[in-house]
Chain A
Amino acid sequence: MKTRRAFLTTAIGASVAAVAVAAPKEIETRSAMMTCSPAQGGKNAKMFPHVIVQDQYKRKAWFYEELIQDKLVLVNFTSSKGENYYPIIKNMVKVQEIIADRLGKDVFMYTITTDPIRDTPDTLKDLADKFGAKWQFLSGNPDDIHAVLAAFKVHGNLHALTWIGNEKLGRWLNKPSHLHPLYIAESIARLSTGKHHKPSLARGMGSTLAGMRGA
Chain B
Amino acid sequence: MKRREMLKAGVAAIATAPAVFGGVMMSKSAQAQLCRLEGIRSPETEPDSPPVSAYTQPIYFPPAMAEVSAASINPPADPGRHQRYNDFPPVKFYVQRLTEGYWNYHDELTALTGNSGSLAWMFNGATPGETMVARYGQPVFVRRYNDLPDLENSKMPFGYPASTIHLHNGHTASESDGNPMDFTIPGKFWDHHYAMYLARNDSREALGSLWYHDHMIDFTATNVYAGLSGMSIFYDDIDTGNENDSNPKALRLPGNLQFGGDNQGNPYGYDIPLILHDVRFDQTGNPTYNVFDTKGHLGDHITVNRKVKPFMNVEPRKYRFRIYDGGPSRLYELELSDGSAMTVISNDGNLLEHPVEVASVVLGPANRYDVIIDFSRYAVGEHIDLENVMEQIIGEGPTGRRLAAGKHMEVLRFNIVALKGPDNSVIPSFLRALPEINLNEVVAHREWVFDHDMGLWTVNGQFMDPSIIAAAPKQGTAEIWTFRNAGSSWAHPVHVHFEEFQVLEWNGKPPTGVLKSRKDVAVLGPNDVVKVFYRFDDFKGSYIIHCHNNVHEDNAMMLRWDIVAK
User: Which A residues have a C-beta under 8 Å from some C-beta of B?
Assistant: 43-44, 47, 86, 151-156, 158-161, 166, 169-176, 178-180, 183, 187, 190-191, 193, 197, 199-200, 202, 205-215
In the complex, what residues of A have CB within 8 A of residue B294's CB?
A: 153, 161, 174
Contact A179 B463 (CB under 8 A): yes
Contact A207 B182 (CB under 8 A): yes
Q: A161-B555, A173-B291, A173-B554 known; 12 other A-B pairs, CB under 8 Å?
A: A161-B294, A171-B158, A174-B556, A179-B463, A183-B465, A183-B466, A190-B160, A205-B181, A207-B542, A208-B542, A214-B187, A214-B188
In the complex, which residues 312-327 of chain B have their Cβ closer than 8 Å to any Cβ of chain A? none
The DSSP consensus for interface residues of chain B is loop
In the complex, what residues of B have CB within 8 A of residue A205's CB?
A: 181, 466-467
Q: Does B176 contact A (CB under 8 A)?
A: yes
Can you name 21 A-B pairs with beta carbons within 8 Å? Answer: A47-B292, A153-B292, A154-B455, A158-B454, A160-B453, A161-B454, A166-B151, A172-B291, A172-B292, A174-B294, A175-B556, A183-B466, A190-B160, A191-B151, A206-B164, A208-B541, A208-B542, A209-B80, A209-B173, A212-B183, A213-B190
B80 nearest in chain A by CB position: A209
In the complex, what residues of A have CB within 8 A of residue B174's CB?
A: 207-209
In the complex, what residues of A have CB within 8 A of residue B554's CB?
A: 173
Shortest beta-carbon distance from B76 to chain A in Å: 11
Contact B81 A206 (CB under 8 A): no
Contact B218 A210 (CB under 8 A): no
Shortest beta-carbon distance from B463 to chain A in Å: 4
Contact B176 A210 (CB under 8 A): yes
Contact B291 A213 (CB under 8 A): no
Contact of B182 among A175, A193, A202, A210 (CB under 8 A): A210
Contact A206 B151 (CB under 8 A): no
Contact of A160 among B81, B160, B187, B454 (CB under 8 A): B454
Contact A209 B83 (CB under 8 A): yes
In the complex, which residues 144-162 of chain B have their Cβ closer than 8 Å to any Cβ of chain A? 145, 151-152, 157-158, 160, 162
B184 nearest in chain A by CB position: A212
Shortest beta-carbon distance from B301 to chain A in Å: 21
Q: Does B237 contact A (CB under 8 A)?
A: no
Contact of A176 among B175, B182, B293, B456 (CB under 8 A): B456
Contact A173 B219 (CB under 8 A): yes
Contact B466 A153 (CB under 8 A): no
With contacts defined as CB atoms under 8 Å apart, how many contacts are there between chain A and chain B in the complex? 129
Q: Which of B187, B292, B455 has the most CB of A within 10 A?
A: B455
In the complex, what residues of B have CB within 8 A of residue A152's CB?
A: 292
**Number of B positions contacting A (CB below 8 A):** 50
Q: How far is the CA of A209 from the CA of B191 in the complex (A)?
A: 11
Contact A210 B175 (CB under 8 A): yes
Contact A206 B292 (CB under 8 A): no
In the complex, what residues of B have CB within 8 A of residue A161's CB?
A: 294, 454-456, 555
Q: How far is the CA of A171 from the CA of B290 in the complex (A)?
A: 11
A43 nearest in chain B by CB position: B157
Q: How far is the CA of A160 from the CA of B160 in the complex (A)?
A: 23
Contact A206 B181 (CB under 8 A): yes
Contact B160 A159 (CB under 8 A): no
Q: How far is the CA of A202 from the CA of B467 in the complex (A)?
A: 9
Q: Does B179 contact A (CB under 8 A)?
A: yes
Contact A199 B158 (CB under 8 A): no
> What 3 pairs across the A-B complex have the smallest Cβ distances?
A210-B175, A206-B181, A206-B182
A158 nearest in chain B by CB position: B454
Q: How far is the CA of A176 from the CA of B164 in the complex (A)?
A: 22
Over the window 121-158 of chain B, the binary record of Cβ atoms lying under 8 Å from chain A Cβ atoms (1 yes, 0 no) is: 00000000000000000000000010000011000011
Contact of B175 among A166, A169, A208 (CB under 8 A): A208
In the complex, what residues of B have CB within 8 A of residue A206's CB?
A: 164, 179-183, 466, 542
In the complex, which residues 180-216 of chain B have their Cβ closer than 8 Å to any Cβ of chain A? 180-185, 187-191
Q: How far is the CA of A199 from the CA of B218 in the complex (A)?
A: 13
Known: A153-B293, A173-B219. A207 touches B175 (CB 8 A): yes
In the complex, what residues of A have CB within 8 A of residue B333's CB?
A: none
In the complex, what residues of B have CB within 8 A of residue A170's CB?
A: 157-158
Shortest beta-carbon distance from A114 to chain B in Å: 10
Shortest beta-carbon distance from B265 to chain A in Å: 38
Shortest beta-carbon distance from B498 to chain A in Å: 12
In the complex, what residues of B have CB within 8 A of residue A43's CB?
A: 157
In the complex, what residues of A have CB within 8 A of residue B190's CB?
A: 210, 212-213
Contact B541 A207 (CB under 8 A): yes
Known: A160-B456, A174-B555. A211 touches B218 (CB 8 A): no
Q: How far is the CA of A180 from the CA of B456 in the complex (A)?
A: 15
Q: Does B401 contact A (CB under 8 A)?
A: no
Q: Does B408 contact A (CB under 8 A)?
A: no
In the complex, what residues of A have CB within 8 A of residue B176's CB?
A: 210
Q: How far is the CA of A211 from the CA of B463 in the complex (A)?
A: 25
In the complex, which residues 288-309 of chain B have their Cβ closer than 8 Å to any Cβ of chain A? 290-294
In the complex, what residues of B have CB within 8 A of residue A178's CB?
A: 463
Q: How far is the CA of A178 from the CA of B455 in the complex (A)?
A: 13
In the complex, what residues of B have CB within 8 A of residue A155's CB?
A: 455
A194 nearest in chain B by CB position: B152
Q: How far is the CA of A44 from the CA of B174 in the complex (A)?
A: 37
Contact B467 A213 (CB under 8 A): no
Q: How far is the CA of A157 from the CA of B396 in the complex (A)?
A: 22
Q: How far is the CA of A158 from the CA of B157 in the complex (A)?
A: 30
Shortest beta-carbon distance from B173 to chain A in Å: 8
Q: Does B177 contact A (CB under 8 A)?
A: yes
Q: How far is the CA of A202 from the CA of B181 in the complex (A)?
A: 10
Known: A171-B158, A172-B291, A208-B175. A213 touches B191 (CB 8 A): yes
A192 nearest in chain B by CB position: B151
